[in-house]
Structure 1
């Protein structure tokens, strides 16, 4: 079975890593890694491949930046050539970024089966580009690998065949546990942020990158002012995404000295910081799940989430995007007992193994 695994942006890298590791137990599967280059900045791409122990990609498409349409078109054009040359039996996409959508469409039009890891998640907010990517990808997917029960139920409501839906758990959590083990085995010694972490003692951790939050100057100013207030309660460590950095400079927005601005961090170094944070504030999807797995209180700086299980468990609360709603959510989370939450079913570090077992069962349907 010839499989192409697609990675193009930071969340893809974290999800692809355990899938590629688990593939070693299935020598009958020829697994090729396609890096679309959707994140072209070295710090946000190559560093993650190194930290996550992902092998050198078999194909690098160099898509780069641009509008959604421009980027998607470049990925489709380049990936079509890969498919025509390699003739994979299956294209395995992860997450909800433009690479996910572009490679799914390209494969399907060439008659190649598509598997979607993290299928069925829904925010029901069509202003989110990721929601459109999720809906379109799942509309043409052949095999659906789900992280939580709500995703299974969404797919059933949309009429997807039950025999094609697999509740496997979450490969992001596989990667999280693998990286935790690396840190526990001495991987924290060389991290540059270790002295700052020791100096602060207790702190909050922040990520902020979604266009809806950082591209609007009024919203970004309100968010920055609110986060400055929170920093008066407890200092904040903030690795700044390149997009966010550009907007902060463009709109001349400044954070207080109690918000420690850091360069983009590799996965392991970010984990080293946020795993011991008092509260994590984020607009990321993946970090909502990772904090849930480790019992770290989280405030999501959005009005909705496609990860409802994190809300149901209570480790995560929606903070919205206004000053008062964020402060209310932060107050609620800052005094929560750490690690007092249950962990969602099958978030046990073995999701990638379940994915390959399922593909092994359907493999005869894929080989052409």
Structure 2
């Protein structure tokens, strides 16, 4: 069996690396194609070292551009590779333009498509990522869902064949790396366990609007009277705060440079609660048994909101939502049992 995996962004590279180990164990040939959409292969990255991430067999070198330009370039170049390699299956990940382009090309060539992280839905429906998800799901033959809600989302759209609840590959990663988490930043800042709130903010809709950003910072400033705020500041956010003259609002917070994954997870394990607009950190908070306040109008990880574990907030109610000491029993198994990659390979072996 020959499988082609198409990636184009850092999280996709990591997911593919986890699956690659399983393909290798089973003796399945897997060819890695990188679209060149986002990420340079930086071999000093902790994931590249620990997961032994390999260089791609092919790099499409599409670079940046408009949605249409990027998607079109990937389609043209990827089609040539599929025509040459003639794989039994094309594997795509997540919700990028790379994902969409790969799925459409494979479907047109009548090569089965498998979508890892299928069934995620989020408002507004006009979001580029949402369009990519929906179209990819509707042309895929194997749909690997990270949660039961994702399965239900597909069912509402009439997709029931080839749908599998396998769990989240990123939960596999979290469990694999948990004993490597570092606590150097936690110790350096002289923090107390459960004595601080971990904050990350970087989304354009939160940091690019001065009125909104000011309100969020004022809410965080109020929270410093309750708990310490540890804020690894994203370059985009730092730039906007300086540009808008908002540095004064940060004076009572622990502002630090972004930290590597292992130290960030160390902070996560020791914090009281998380405030974030990061899709990944919302889930990682759940994995670590911490509640997250999500500063977004909606989230693709809605199951954690519906279960009452995470909560949505905005610039008006962030303080109140964060300090509300709501009681909710920890919901187990939302993203599977940590064996998503094994289950995905099992299905592929039986189906292709």
TM-score interval for Structure 1 and Structure 2 normalised by the shorter chain = 0.7 to 0.9
Distance 2:106 2:237 in 1: 33
- The 1:85/1:49 distance shift into structure 2, 3 A limit, reads farther
Distance 1:180 1:353 in 2: 19
Query: Which deviates more from structure 2 when the two are superposed, residues 131-140 or residues 352-361?
Result: 131-140
Q: Is the 8 A contact 1:214 1:220 kept in 2?
A: yes
2:88 is the alignment partner of 1:89: yes
CA deviations 1:248-290 (Å, max 9, x no partner) are 4544443513434444443323212212221111112232222
2:311 is the alignment partner of 1:327: no
Alpha-carbon deviation of 1:163? 3.3
- Structure 2: give runs of 5+ residues left out of the alignment: none
Q: Is the 8 A contact 1:6 1:33 kept in 2?
A: yes
Paired residue secondary structure (2:348): helix
Of 326, 333, 338, which aligns to 1:344?
333
2:305 is the alignment partner of 1:311: yes
Partner residue of 1:211? 204
Alpha-carbon deviation of 1:197? 4.5
Partner residue of 2:129? 130
Partner residue of 2:113? 114
Distance 1:67 1:220 in 2: 27
Paired residue secondary structure (1:227): helix
Paired residue secondary structure (1:292): helix
Q: Is the 8 A contact 1:2 1:31 kept in 2?
A: yes
Alpha-carbon deviation of 1:48? 4.3
Q: Is the 8 A contact 2:118 2:145 kept in 1?
A: yes
Distance 1:70 1:246 in 2: 29
Alpha-carbon deviation of 1:199? 4.5
Alpha-carbon deviation of 1:291? 1.6
Q: Is the 8 A contact 1:92 1:117 kept in 2?
A: yes
Distance 1:16 1:274 in 2: 25
Partner residue of 1:15? 15
Distance 2:213 2:174 in 1: 30
Q: Is the 8 A contact 1:309 1:344 kept in 2?
A: no
Partner residue of 1:2? 2
Alpha-carbon deviation of 1:12? 2.1
Q: Is the 8 A contact 1:13 1:49 kept in 2?
A: no
Distance 1:137 1:24 in 2: 26
Query: Which deviates more from structure 2 when the two are superposed, residues 133-142 or residues 211-220?
Result: 211-220
Alpha-carbon deviation of 1:30? 0.8
Q: Is the 8 A contact 2:230 2:254 kept in 1?
A: yes
Distance 1:358 1:274 in 2: 33
Q: Is the 8 A contact 1:32 1:58 kept in 2?
A: yes
Question: Which ranges of 4 or more aligned residues in structure 1 deviate by more than 6 Å?
Answer: 41-45
- Structure 1: give runs of 5+ residues left out of the alignment: 364-368
Distance 1:214 1:106 in 2: 36
Q: Is the 8 A contact 1:10 1:48 kept in 2?
A: no
Partner residue of 1:26? 26
Residue correspondence of structure 1 range 49-128 to structure 2 within 5 A: 49-50=48-49, 52-128=51-127
CA deviations 1:286-343 (Å, max 9, x no partner) are 3222222221011011122222221233321111x223x21121012xx467x95122
Partner residue of 1:300? 294
Q: Is the 8 A contact 2:42 2:48 kept in 1?
A: no
Query: Which deviates more from structure 2 when the two are superposed, residues 208-217 or residues 257-266?
Result: 257-266
Please, what TM-score do these two structures have when normalized by structure 1?
0.83
Distance 1:41 1:204 in 2: 32
- The 1:260/1:23 distance shift into structure 2, 3 A limit, reads farther
Of 214, 219, 222, which aligns to 1:226?
219
Residue correspondence of structure 1 range 252-331 to structure 2 within 5 A: 252-254=245-247, 255-319=249-313, 321-323=314-316, 325-331=317-323
Query: Which deviates more from structure 2 when the two are superposed, residues 291-300 or residues 91-100?
Result: 91-100
RMSD: 2.9
Alpha-carbon deviation of 1:355? 0.4
Distance 1:253 1:57 in 2: 43
Alpha-carbon deviation of 1:46? 5.1
Partner residue of 2:174? 176
Please, what TM-score do these two structures have when normalized by structure 2?
0.87
Paired residue total:
350
2:161 is the alignment partner of 1:163: yes
Q: Is the 8 A contact 1:40 1:64 kept in 2?
A: no
